Chain A
Amino acid sequence: AQTDRNQPIHIEADAMRYDDVHQTSVFTGNVVVTKGSLVLRAATVDVRQAPDGYQYATALAAPGQLATFQRQLDVAPGQPAQTLDGAAQRIEYDGKTDVVTLRGQAMLSRLIDGRLMDRSQGNVIAYNQITDVFTVEGGAAGATATNPGGRVRVMLTPQPPASSAPAAPKSPPALKVAPKLGTQP
């Protein structure tokens, strides 16, 4: 949720190794990263600081398992809680483009009050945090038990005609307006 922004980050792991030459921190063994409502679980999480100053992070699942993340979404007061669940063999974060990429048996689900509303599956799901747009690519590598062909499968549940609350235009929450160009702060 928006309020996650300045929450402290908690990381737990079995081990951590920092290498100044390569500017990397690698956390290994039952890694749990939490920040506000975000919870990320993986076997290893490594964070690299690129020369351009941006950070790139990769979360890897243990063999045969999936790395997962879960987050609360901002909802209007009084609205039921919405969470975003992601899972994949590999979750990458690009600090420059602010895109989270789920790779290998990728699945992104949105739940309202714990009930599944939308789900997309595929080989690769790229989710842009700024534009709230996500793209899904198919491919055999994306095959899972529930999606043997690995084809792109997106299931969207139309918003029920809310009696009082204004009906949300589309299932993904309102798109954010891209920051106007103008002078950078």
Chain B
Amino acid sequence: MHMNMRQLWLRLSAWSPIVLLALAAAFSWWVAQVVMRAEQGPKIGPAHSALPDYMLHEFSAASYNAQGQLGAVLQGTQMDHRPDTDTFEITAPQLRAVSPQGIVTTASAQRGLANKDGSNIQLFGHAVVERSGTGGQPPLIVRGDFLNIFPQQQIIQSNQPTVVQQGQTVFSANTVDFNAIAGTASMQGRVKAVIVPGASTQANSP
């Protein structure tokens, strides 16, 4: 007779999307690196034309923290700067960032678009962002065809179906909006959650 509702609710809220929000924080250095490198490159076209005015091929931008440790590496097969929109288009961006606490964040997509001050980064096509787990938790993975990231405000949004997974626990929805500063995560449209007991989340009650 003893279906234990306690187990049900215990599992339900042990999964905490908030862990995901820290992802957004890992990006702000990224664009600063990209922008700085790109501007030093030679100018090849008139400003304000739709044609890229400078390009980088097979580029890799790395950033180091004050202690000289590798902070993050961004690679891509090509990066074009578009003077008309003052944006940077990156083909096949690959990011790997390590936070001072040792949290590794990786991101990749078919295409990336970043504005000049790095306040907005958009990933298009098989966008995957993964953050290593902390405290024995499995990594947290966000997948979608479009991820809209605002690093300084620590926001990840998407108006397209997105899947968030940690271990065997999976949340999916048509649109998502994660905000690390506000500490909120909201999902709209056909929200589905599968929470597997024990597998991916520790019971945190005494």
Contacts and interface: CB of A to CB of B under 8 A. Distances in A.
Given A11-B195, A71-B3, A129-B3, A55 B9 contact: yes
Given A18-B16, A47-B9, 4 more contacts: A6-B7, A9-B8, A9-B193, A95-B9
A11 B192 CA distance: 6
A18 B206 CA distance: 22
29 contacts: A1-B3, A2-B1, A4-B3, A5-B7, A7-B197, A9-B8, A9-B193, A10-B192, A10-B193, A11-B192, A15-B187, A16-B193, A20-B16, A20-B184, A25-B13, A35-B8, A38-B3, A38-B8, A48-B13, A49-B204, A52-B206, A53-B206, A55-B13, A57-B9, A72-B3, A95-B6, A98-B5, A100-B5, A173-B1
Interface residues on B, range: 35 or more
Q: Which of B191, B197, B206 has the most CB of A within 10 A?
A: B191
B12 A8 contact: no
A52 B10 CA distance: 13
Nearest to A54: B205
A9 B6 CA distance: 12
Interface in B156-182: 168, 171, 173
Contacts of B195: 8-9, 11
Which among A35, A53, A132, A172 has the highest number of chain B CB atoms within 10 Å? A35
A113 interface: no
A50 to B, nearest CB: 9
Overall SS of chain B's interface: mixed
Contacts of B192: 10-12
Nearest to B180: A20
Interface of B: 1-13, 16-18, 21, 168, 171, 173, 183-198, 204-206
In the complex, the 4 A-B pairs of residues with the closest C-beta atoms, listed nearest first: A20-B183, A53-B205, A55-B9, A20-B18
Contacts of A5: 3-4, 7, 197
Contacts of B194: 8-10
B203 to A, nearest CB: 9
A176 interface: yes
B43 to A, nearest CB: 46
Contact of B191 (A2, A6, A27): A27
B14 to A, nearest CB: 8
A35 B4 CA distance: 10
Contacts of A1: 3
Interface in A63-78: 71-74
